[in-house]
Amino acid sequence: MKLGIIGIGGHGAGHLRAILNGQGAELVGIADANETLARQAGEQHQVPNFTRWQDLLEQVPMEGLVVCVPHDLYDEIIAAACGKKLHVLKEKPVARNLEEGKRFVHYAESAGVKLMVGTQRRFSPAFQTMRSRQTAVAPLFMFRSHYSFCWEPDFAWRGVKERAGGGAMLDMGYHPIDQMLWQMGAPSEVYAVCSDKARPGTPFPYDTDDTAILTCRYANGSIGYILMSWATSPPEESVYLHGANGVLKSTWNELTHWTPQGELVEEQHWAFDGYDALRTQLETFIQSVQSGSEPPSSAQEQLANMAILDAAYRSAETGAPQKVELP
């Protein structure tokens, strides 16, 4: 599949590598606003390169596009790509809010193209094994996840709500929320508290949250919580599923299974990293396009994640629990 890429500087570098190595993928062009970056990558991989993404779309014939840019740029890019009948793999989040997400789904559906959202943890064997092993610990009654790391002093576009859509809860929290959805389904009600106190006096633009705790209630009485911070240590990313018959803990490449009393049942390790997940994700996107099937993490499916986030930010603003209205 002939693929162009927009945004190769940050996380897009991994997507570029995935296109170069992914089965069925052929890199045909690059766009990045950073002229040096675009030129160097274009020369290295011998493909046309541009600083304006519009030029990439106008000048290079392709079938699909991988897009990895600041959140406020997706609307125009996805509209234009769908206008050219290109299938799109966009990075998470599906959008800055539910309304924008529905618009993206409309662009893709009207054009008859696939729009997939990057949620690469779904392609980690550890998280996948957790999902397939749930029956061993079921019935589930609690999901919990901690996700923390320390971002650079300048959050850059991520610190500006208008550009990013939200702070830590939306940006990094998108992943554990996706895991919760994928592993346990959508909660019916959420309550969130957000903080912006981890960087007092920062000279950089900053009106988003840096730390958040989200609690969730399910219609069947199950519960869940997620703790997210992009301004602290130690770095940690873990997901737990608690069931009446046992406990599962997953990280990127480890799965641990205990009895409810804490006796170890099994530990599994995989030699697998984030890049492998990006490549597998891309190959899945290509297979979906070629077979005409709906990709996992399609934009339509990901609207549920956005509905949870919209409700969570409403809760943080009002101080009251909010119902999750699934689209």
224 binds ligand NAD (CB under 6 A): no
Give 291's contacts (C-beta < 8 A, 6+ positions apart).
none
Specify the residue, 38 or 194, whose C-beta has the smaller distance to ligand NAD: 38
32 is an interface residue for ligand NAD by CB under 6 A: yes
Q: What are phi and psi of 270, to 5 degrees?
A: -130, 140
Whose tokens are 């990280």? That residue is: 251
Taking the least distance from each CB to ligand NAD, the nearer of 89 and 140 is 89
Least separation, in Å, of the C-beta of 34 and ligand NAD? Answer: 4
Give 53 or 258: the residue with its C-beta nearer to ligand NAD. 53
Find the shortest distance in angstroms from Cβ 316 to ligand NAD: 20
139 burial (CB, 10 Å; 0-12 / 13-18 / 19+) is exposed
Identify which range of 25-33, 235-243, 293-301, 314-322 contacts ligand NAD by CB under 6 A. Answer: 25-33
Q: Does 10 bind ligand NAD (CB under 6 A)?
A: yes
In the numeric block, the tokens 């079938």 are attached to 63
Between 78 and 137, CB nearer to ligand NAD: 78
Q: Show contacts with ligand NAD in window 72-101 (CB under 6 A).
A: 73, 91-92
Contact code string over 46-65 relative to ligand NAD, x by CB under 6 A: -------x------------
Q: What is the DSSP letter of 293?
A: P
CB of 66 to ligand NAD, least distance (A): 10
Instruction: Tell whether the torsion through CA atoms of 90, 96, 100 and 105 is positive or negative.
Output: positive
> Structure tokens of 81?
């790509």
Tokens coding 315: 């809760």
Q: Is 71 in the site for ligand NAD (CB under 6 A)?
A: yes
CA of residue 99 relative to chain centroid, distance: 18
Alpha-carbon distance values, 97 to 92, 103, 174, 280, 317 (Å)? 12, 10, 12, 27, 15
DSSP 29-43: EEE-SSHHHHHHHHH
Based on CB atoms, which residue is closest to ligand NAD, 32 or 310?
Answer: 32
**Of 33-41, 142-150, 201-209, 229-237, which segment contacts ligand NAD by CB under 6 A?**
33-41
Query: Would you state the structure tokens that stand for residue 9, as one six-digit string?
Result: 């500087």
Interface residues with ligand NAD (CB under 6 A) are 6-12, 31-34, 37, 53, 68-71, 73, 91-92, 118, 120, 171
